Amino acid sequence: MLSILEKSVTMADPMTSTISLMTIKNNIGVNEAPAQIKLMWGLIMGVTSLVFTLTGGLDGIKIVKTIAGSPILIVGLAMMILFIVYIVKHGKSKEVQDMMVDRS
C-alpha cells in the first residue's frame, strides 16, 4: 500500500507542475510555477480523482484515466500529423536534410 501511495505522489508532482506552468501567462523562461497555482491544480486533480474513486470504485479510476488520456492522445496525433506535413513540405530544405543524418 505504501508503494502505491509513493508512486501516486511521485507522478502527481510533475503532472501538477506541468499543468501549473502551462496555465500561467508569460511562462517563457520560467522553470517553476508559483506555489499557489500548483496547490490549486493539485487540489483540483486530487478532489476530482477522489470523487471518481469514491463514487465509481475501479470503474471511476478507469473513467479518470480515459478523461485525462484523451486530450493527450489528440495532441500526440496532431503532432505526428503536423510533423509529417512539415517533412513533406520542407523535405528538400537544407535544415531538414541536416536533421536526417545517415548514421550507418
Inside any domain, residue 40 = yes
Give 28: exposed, middle or buried? Use CB within 10 Å, 0-12, 13-18, 19+. Answer: exposed
Whether pLDDT at 20 is above 70: yes
CB 45 within 8 A of CB 53: no
- Domain holding 88, by residue range, is 2-99
Greater pLDDT, 28 or 4: 28
pLDDT in tens, 62-96: 777 787 778 888 888 999 999 899 888 877 666 66
Q: How confident is the model at residue 19 (pLDDT cuts 50, 70, 90)?
A: confident
Residue 104 lies in a domain: no
pLDDT value at residue 78: 92
Cell numbers of 25, please?
Answer: 501567462
Is 55 part of a structural domain of the chain? Answer: yes
Q: How many folded domains does the chain comprise? A: 1
SS3 for 34?
Answer: coil
Mean pLDDT of 54-62: 78
For residue 72, give Cα distances in angstroms to 6, 32, 36, 64, 88. Answer: 24, 21, 25, 13, 24
